[in-house]
Amino acid sequence: MSSNIRNFSIISHIDHGKSTLADRMLELTATIAPREMHEQVLDRMELERERGITIKMAPVRMLWHPHRRLTQNETQKDAEWIQGDDFLYKDLTYKIRGIFFDVRKKLGLGHKEQIYHNALEIEFKKNGLVFESKKNIPILYDGNNIGLYQPDFVVEGKVLIELKALPEISRPQTEQLWSYLKGCEYKVALLVNYGSKDLEIKRIVYDKSRPSSSALSALSALSLRESAGVSNQVEEYVLNLIDTPGHVDFAYEVSRALSAVEGVVLLVDSTQGVEAQTLSVLSVAKNLGLEIIPVVSKIDAPNARVSDIVSEVALLLNCPESSILRASGKTGEGVAHILNTIVEKIPPPKSTGAGVQALIFDFGYSDHRGVIVYARVFGGKIAKGDSLRFCAAQTDFQALEVGWLTPRETPSEVLHEGEIGYIVTGIKKAGIASVGDTLTSVRNPSHALPGYSPPAPVIWASVYPESQDDLVLLRQSLERLRLSDSSLSYEEESSGIMGKGFRCGFLGMLHLEIIIERLRREFALNLVVTMPTTVYRITHTNGKVEDIYSPAHFPDEGTAKRVEELWSKVSVIAPPEYYGAISQLLYDHEAEIGETATLPDGKMQVYADMPLRELMRGFFDKLKSVSSGFASLSYELLGFRDADVVRLDVLVADEIVPAFARIVSRRRVQHESEAIVKKLEELLPRQLFVLKIQAKAMGRIIAARRVSALRKDVTGYLYGGDITRKMKLLEKQKRGKKKMLARGKVDIPHDVFLRVIRDS
């Protein structure tokens, strides 16, 4: 029944604890088995776990049973432990887990056990933990001492730690440690494996005073339970969570997720307070009319300002402070209360009253099963074998499989109205499935749902394979990435020097960086990427209007009637003591500062209009630098305005190199010219002739450098005689150098392109 379904998302500024809170929810609802649990479990890409950020939205289905009545044989303490709020030594074990991950980050994988043992000793001391190493523990069997067990560590006299460096942990290691616990006085052990693939931690408990594993299994399954003749039926709620990214570059992912839910959990970090992206995602949620549940997170942090941040959020939402929830994703405190509040406050899905309607909010691809769409069913139901149709593409297919994401794909017989799940289409052709399209029945089609506006690329960059033999692989790789990232756009182009490649559109610099890194890692491609640029609208002298995405196509000085560029409205939130430095930074990036406001916690919020070109010129990194990391940023596009920009070309050996071309502000052309020729002077290898490096703009050479020629000692074999013999040889060498200077060409190494772009 849809009345027992709750669809919600977690939204916040970046690094406010969304993924950690989602981990605790999955643990608390027993969605994931303890042996499979790890940090950032919904962040499936290696890049997400490395950087500690969410890049892709991640849907997951959970089962929750609020306000379960106790049977005669259960105590309140047992019930709380079953719900996950008070498991044994929770604070200590979470602290130890954090140390394990710190060692993993610093040391990496592949070392011997003793290396990790020594590193953990250092970390335990740094964190003030009392521990014993290689302690002898007697093992009892029927009350008799049958031997000694020597764990790697005993921490705080409570938790045993067993270290491994195996390819993976198998069942025998787990059962062996459990049997040791059974025969000694300790109750909790952590089996830690720095394996060949990743860090693996298993928490093993043996405590006769706790409920039995069979009782826990029954509670997890939430069937009817009979105890002492009392029937206790527990109401089951289906919670469909869509975890969202927090970085401003992935705002399109957030907007798609929010269109598929009825409510959101708004997280605000108790150490940071309200930040720029908090206000941005909150505005989207309000515009969609979603129920908002405010939560102050990280309340266990030493520098948490819980009461201050609660007051700030209450003023922001115009609600009483008592309605602001408090939680810690690290320790799990308050998470059960959040789940209960979701059940109480977020409304169940409403019926559209039409036939089959499912909104596609994301999709993936499998080599064997084709396109797999992730959809929210707004009307009717979808079963395996149903004939369905893409409304926009007008393409029919048969549902090969339907199911839920738990978070792995779990097949089911049918997806009912209000549910979120996946549908295997079997389609292996790109361009048919699209985000925002509606699935409907072929037999009884319904009208399409309002979809999403297509994402507008913010920056563009050309991507070329190092070897033209990889062009087909690059095309196929971009098609595959497009299936999992609908905000990526690309079109084929060619360059006289670089060969054939693709002009790609991205939502920001981080989005560009992620896509390029995925192409290199997932498809083993060696790439050359040109300088990223924004779109320019050119009005030619004949009245023709054209959008330019590449500096190579930008008109020469004086040949265009009008040049326009995209502008953005920037919101910066920072402590007031950094206002002066931020104002100077905004001026340096050609911003027009607008109104300022003081937030309830004393921070300043500054609004400014800025060319998008300048926003992408390292503004975010510089903002973090001048504000000591305290400033936060969000922006939205405003439209086109007149631009005072010119094309800067780079000539190497009198030949223009298109990959180095860029569009710069007229007032910065001298600085940019000198910087690029100086960088190339350092990077380009010496040739057999004098190498000229020049920067050209506005019809003239702005800056130039020379790299001296390699010179062979042509007189080295002479050991005497007239000086004219040496002069004759030197003159001959000079004539040869002059001829090479006129005819010579330079082969620029690919790593030079990469380093110039990276440093710029």
CATH superfamily placement of domain 2-19+53-63+235-345: P-loop containing nucleotide triphosphate hydrolases (3.40.50.300)
CATH class as words, domain 646-759: alpha beta
Query: What confidence score (pLDDT) does residue 620 get?
Result: 80
Q: What is the helix (H) or strand (E) element at residue 622, kind and residue range?
A: helix 619-626
Query: What confidence score (pLDDT) does residue 294 get?
Result: 92
Q: Facing residues of 195 across strands? A: none
The torsion region of residue 229 among left (phi > 0), alpha (psi -120 to 50) and beta comes to left
Q: What is the helix (H) or strand (E) element at residue 756, kind and residue range?
A: helix 750-759
Query: What confidence score (pLDDT) does residue 711 get?
Result: 65
Give CATH 3.30.70.2570 domain extents, the chain: 646-759
Report the 3 state secondary structure along 310-340: HHHHHHHHCCCHHHCEECCCCCCCCHHHHHH
Give CATH 3.40.1350 domain extents, the chain: 89-209
Query: What confidence score (pLDDT) does residue 447 get?
Result: 82
Q: Facing residues of 373 across strands? A: 363, 423
Give CATH 3.30.70.240 domain extents, the chain: 537-643
The pair of three-digit structure tokens given for residue 195, joined into one six-digit string: 């394996």
Q: For domain 537-643, give the fold.
A: Alpha-Beta Plaits (3.30.70)
Give CATH 3.40.50.300 domain extents, the chain: 2-19+53-63+235-345
Residue 425 · residue 370 · CB < 8 Å: yes
Query: Which of 260, 339, 362, 261 is CA-nearest to residue 62?
Result: 339
Residue 649 · residue 663 · CB < 8 Å: no
The pair of three-digit structure tokens given for residue 160, joined into one six-digit string: 């045993």
- For the chain, which residues score pLDDT lower than 50? 68-86, 208-234
Q: For domain 89-209, give the fold.
A: Trna Endonuclease; Chain: A, domain 1 (3.40.1350)
Question: What helix, strand, coil percent values describe the chain, rounded to 5?
Answer: 30, 30, 35
Give Cα 366 to chain centroid, integer Å. Answer: 21
Residue 460 · residue 535 · CB < 8 Å: yes
Give CATH 3.30.70.870 domain extents, the chain: 459-532
Query: What confidence score (pLDDT) does residue 293 get?
Result: 92
Neighbours of 555 (CB within 10 A): 16
pTM of the shown model: 0.65
Query: What confidence score (pLDDT) does residue 142 get?
Result: 75
CATH architecture for residues 459-532: 2-Layer Sandwich (3.30)
Q: For domain 357-441, give the fold.
A: Elongation Factor Tu (Ef-tu); domain 3 (2.40.30)
Distance CA 73, CA 82 (A): 14
